[in-house]
Structure 1
Amino acid sequence: MWQPDRRADIPIYRQIASHMEGRIRGGEFPQGSLLPSERKLADMLRVNRTTVVQAYEELRSMGLVERAVGSGTKVVPAGSGGAISPNWRKYLEAGTFLPNVPAMRRIRSELRTEGAVIDFASGELHPELFPNETIRTLLKEKTFDGHLGYEDPQGFAPLRDSLSRFLRRYLNIEASESSLLLTSGSQQSLFLITQCLLSPGDAVAVEVPSYGRSLSLFESAGLKVIPLRADDQEGVDPDDVAELHRRHRLKMIFTNPNFQNPTGTVLSAERKQRLLDIAAERGIPIVEDDPFSLTAFDGTVPPPLRSMDAGGQVLYVGSLSKIAASGLRIGWLAAPHSIVSKLADARQQMDFGLSAIPQWVAAELLDSPGFGRHLAELRRKLAFKLDSLRAALDYHLPGEVGYRVPEGGLNLWAKWNERPANADRLFEQAIREGVVYVPGSVYGSGPDFFRLCFARPADDRIEEGVAKLAAAYRTASRF
């Protein structure tokens, strides 16, 4: 008698459903015949009855069986005239777009209930850091009189004008409105780049550890992801790019040089120039993901690669999510006009563009005197939150956690000085204690690393969250 494999990653009810499906399609259970009762099959397979109920429900959703109270479960008879449900499991297993990595799905599941756990995982600002008062004032004083139909495929023209001025003023980046594509955030920009400018099998260099390693979009596009090692002191070594290109013929480089996520490092001006030179010599485009430059705590903004780029090889990706409000869903891509046009055409096939109202709000926000004041206040509050997190770690986990203090960004990249015996067990124990963080494995790093976003928790919950993390670490270390 067949038995499910209890060591397999596939849920037992799915194994049972798949096994029974094979027997039905193979004719062992002809159309109209009864299947074993739930209780009998549960006894035969040494599982509980609920597992068999789930398996039979899976078969019913596939249109293979029908169930009736008092009559049992039987194979759908020929010519029964009943509606046959699609085999949704087969559809779920199809398609080319891969799901998020399991740890991120687990985190998002825990965060569905607001306040249920203390959130060191979400890489976004706490609502108290949004420019709420500035936006409320704008909405009171300004009146939207724009067009409410479909917008230009590149995005709301007044916002592109405002954004061009913003990039020049704050980041020393020259980008005309015709070279800007508005997106719903950095991730949509990255998605469009991978889908429209690259082909399956192309080799791309992605920093490790990095946020890029947490995304499945590279694998979904069929790309060959080549790790570009980044340490937590100086970031990537540009000379590694030359060697990787020699071995793999790189088609693109993805990098986050300023307050890198998750390490917080800033690539020096010398390394940035070296990276630009090496890429230019080999004709390799660079995608610069730059969400954090303007969070520099002391106000000294490190120059983005794009501001140093004389050859037009950098595709510059940014957004308002990390410096204003993630809910505005405003991002941008600065690139040669031909690239922008192609990506705008693809984006129009997806959603016909962004909503005009948030784009109008963003344009007014970027041009307002209040935005500069908001950035200064944001930097001050982020520095305070980081200090609070460091103090809590030093108090609750003295000598047990190491970290390098970043000078900007939203995250602290930390390391257990004594590697946990089981990083997965620690992660689950932390959730049971009521706190979530991002394990280093999500970013392609080892089990002794983890990321804490200090921008997300409320000020008065940072120490509580660290205390819960410390309790989880000590509990998990006993096993």
Structure 2
Amino acid sequence: MWPLDRGSKKPLFEQIVDEIERRISYGEFPPGSLLPSERKLAEQLGVNRSTVVLAYAELRALGMIESQTGSGTRVTKHKWGITPKHTPNWHRYVEGGSFLPNLPFLRRIREALQKNKALIDFASGELGADLSPVKEINTLMDENHYTEYLGYDNPQGFVPLRQALVAYLEHYRGIQTTESSILITSGSQQSLYLITQCLLAPGDAVAIEDPSYCYSLPMFQSAGLRLFRLPVDDKGVRPEEIRSLYKKHRIKMVFLNPNYQNPTGTVLDPERRVELLHIASELGLPIVEDDPFSLTDYHGTPPQPLKSADSIGSILYIGSFSKIAASGLRVGWMVAPHSVVERLADARQQMDFGLSVVPQKVAAQFLNSFYFRPHLDRLRMDLLYKRDLLIEALQKELPDLVSFSVPQGGLHLWCKIGTEVNDHKLLEEAIRNGMIYVPGSVYGSDSGYVRFTFARPKAADIPLGVSKFAAALRTVLG
């Protein structure tokens, strides 16, 4: 919502009238579009409802809006003039697109965070400013002035970055590859989007973990894919389930996050890894391995990716800087057979003509700098500290109501509430209390699960945030 100038001599209701009139004239509120209710707009603007009632009355007198019982308040559909003018039915277009919107819970979380910057944020799946290498990246940017021509770059991505990734992947992840088999993307989600749009077709069946971050991404349904679940236990997915799904539904691809899985934090068991690769080889079944969290392993000995043992090219491997450095760089990568990289690079070029070369240069310099390894060591130590703060606070505030397994890496703690609870009511009460998190049902679980991301809030805010959550839970439980 727009800010009101409370120091102005113009009354607040007139400011609201002027702003709505301006947005109607600009087409932001087209004829026929539904406006917020008086109560809702008053809440969003932080004014008394009577102020909005007065503003809406003025707009109705001007003939700009009309209200009907049961239908709400809408922008008037017809404007006066010699020739009637018809605005496109934007609502029909918005509802008719094939790319689905985010899940309602995620839209509510985004709205709450935008509205209230003071919320203690256990929802955003990224590093907080205190964990990101801000000083190091600023130093690199100060030391390296970009004087070259900033034109369109190679559609596969900035060559020096792909060269740096070849060394990085071999040293840190045990993956042997070449720069021609790497595609630079704007992050893991763009990698997944390109795969679903270019390598699969509507009606294809794919398998995802249950629960899974993939379940929160409508891009799978937007692509017309049929989703089948692979249950995750304390050892990860069970490979025999993949064989069963293949026989029953002819699944064409499997999407996995085997190391510190999001949201559960589990690590795929070594014996299951061997069996999984054997089944993929036997069935000729591609596996998409998303590996954003491995280098956060708190003890500095991250489990190896499936890709490191992939001798026949079954694995499409996805990584990014978002969970280990800076999400704002928007730099990710995919390791795949060259023919796949070429196909996806061609599609991506149709979308945006390639990524900005500036963040790619920064990422390449950071990977090659002496700052990178100390940053990882510091990140692991700080994440471990925050994890322990969160666990200690939960054990203090909710010892009998919340259970969890302690992760050894990653940014999240997956919790089960030990009694039946309404996810919607609990989230709304938590927001009212001043904290926010992600309900587990976003990831496909039953109600009563919660994902806390402890990388985002400041360490000092973690106990307070848990206290606010505990108060919300007790209120909802009565």
Per the TM superposition, whether the score is higher than 0.5 is: yes
Superposed counterparts of 1:282-321, under 5 Å: 282-321=283-322
Match of 2:153 among 151, 158, 162: 151
Aligned to 2:428: 428
CA contact (8 A) 2:203 2:225 kept: yes
Matched letter for residue 166 of structure 1:
Y
Aligned to 1:103: 105
Checking the alignment, whether the CA contact within 8 Å between 2:65 and 2:73 is kept in structure 1 is: no
**3-state SS, counterpart of residue 442 of structure 2:** helix
What residue in structure 2 maps to residue 450 of structure 1?
A: 450
Query: More displaced, 454-463 or 105-114?
Result: 105-114
Residue in 2 aligned with 1:416? 417
* 1:122 corresponding residue in structure 2: 124
Amino acid at match of 2:275: R
Partner of 1:208: 210
Aligned to 1:367: 368
Structure 1 counterpart of 2:333, one-letter code: W
Give the deviation of 1:66 after TM superposition. 3.2
Q: Secondary structure at the match of 2:180?
A: helix
**What CA deviation, in whole Å up to 9, does each residue of 1:390-422 have, x standing for no partner?**
1111111121110100000000000111222x2
**Whole-angstrom distance in 2 between the partners of 1:85 and 1:427:** 38
Give how far 1:423 is off: 2.0
- Give CA deviations for 1:53-75 in whole Å, capped at 9, x if unaligned: 32xx2x62xxxx337xxxxxxxx
What's the offset of the Cα at 1:229? Answer: 1.0
Give the unaligned 5+ runs of structure 2.
1-32, 35-62
Paired AA for residue 252 in structure 2: K
State the AA in 1 paired with 2:337. Answer: P
* TM-score, normalization by structure 1: 0.85
2:180 is the alignment partner of 1:167: no
**Which region of structure 1 is more displaced relative to structure 2, 284-293 or 109-118?**
109-118
**Alignment deviations for residues 286-334 of structure 1 (CA, whole Å, 9 cap, x no partner):** 0000000100000011010101111101000110000000000000010
Q: CA deviation at 1:38?
A: 12
1:280 deviates by 1.1
Q: How many residues align?
A: 420
- The Cα of 1:82 is off from its aligned counterpart by 3.6
1:231-380 alignment runs, 5 A limit: 231=233, 233-380=234-381
Distance 1:39 1:325, change over 3 A: closer
How much does 1:273 deviate? 1.4
1:251 and 1:447 mapped to 2: Cα distance? 30
Measured after TM superposition, the shift of residue 455 of structure 1 is 0.4
Match of 1:468 in 2: 468
Give how far 1:147 is off: 3.9
1:272 positional shift: 1.1
> What SS is found at the alignment partner of 1:192?
helix
Match of 1:138 in 2: 140
Distance 2:143 2:174 in 1: 30
Q: Find the aligned partners of 2:401 and 2:415 in 1 and give their Cα distance.
A: 10
| Change in 2 beyond 3 A, CA 1:476/1:82 | same
Output the CA distance in 2 between the equivalents of 1:128 and 1:182: 26
8 Å Cα contact 2:133-2:375 kept in structure 1 = yes
Instruction: For 1:1-150, list aligned pairs within 5 A.
Output: 42=68, 45=69, 47=70, 51-54=71-74, 57=75, 60=77, 65-66=78-79, 80-113=82-115, 115-150=117-152
8 Å CA contact 1:438, 1:450 repeated in 2:
yes
One-letter identity of the residue aligned with 1:224: R
Residue 39 of structure 1 and its aligned partner are, at CA, apart by 12
Task: Report the Cα offset of residue 141 of structure 1.
Answer: 2.6
- Per-residue Cα deviation, 1:112-132 (whole angstroms, up to 9, x for no partner): 146331110000000111111
Cα distance in structure 1, aligned partners of 2:64 and 2:139: 63
Cα distance in 2 for residues equivalent to 1:203 and 1:260: 22
| SS of residue matched to 2:228 | strand
Task: Kindly name which structure, 1 or 2, has the bigger radius of gyration based on alpha carbons.
Answer: 1
Work out which of the residue numbers 220, 223, 227 in structure 1 matches 2:222.
220
Residue type matched to 2:185 in 1? T
Letter in 2 for 1:452: F
Partner of 1:19: none
Give the match's secondary structure for 1:382: helix
Residues of 1 paired with 2:203 and 2:328: CA distance?
A: 35
Q: Is residue 66–residue 73 contact of structure 2 (8 Å, CA) maintained in 1?
A: no
Task: Name the SS of the counterpart of 1:277 in structure 2.
Answer: helix
Alignment gaps of 5+ in structure 1:
1-12, 15-36, 68-76
- Structure 1, 114-123 or 430-439: larger mean CA deviation: 114-123
- Could you say which residue in structure 2 is the equivalent of 1:21? none
Contact 2:67–2:73, Cα closer than 8 Å, also in 1: no
CA positional deviation for 1:249: 0.4
CA contact (8 A) 2:181 2:338 kept: yes
Matched, 1:459 2:446: no
1-side partners of 2:67 and 2:273: how far apart?
A: 64
TM-score for both structures, normalised by structure 2: 0.85
8 Å Cα contact 1:287-1:315 kept in structure 2:
yes
How far apart in 2 are the matches of 1:210 and 1:52?
A: 38
| RMSD, matched Cα | 2.0
**AA of the residue aligned to 2:455:** A
Paired residue type of 2:460 = D
Report sequence identity in percent: 53
Secondary structure at 1:384's aligned position in 2? helix
Distance 1:40 1:359 in 2: 51
Q: Determine the structure 2 residue equivalent to 1:73.
A: none
Q: Does the C-alpha gap of structure 1 residues 85 and 271 become closer, same or farther in structure 2, counting only changes over 3 Å? A: same
* 1:241 to 1:113, Cα distance in 2 relative to 1, 3 A: same
Shift of 1:145: 4.3
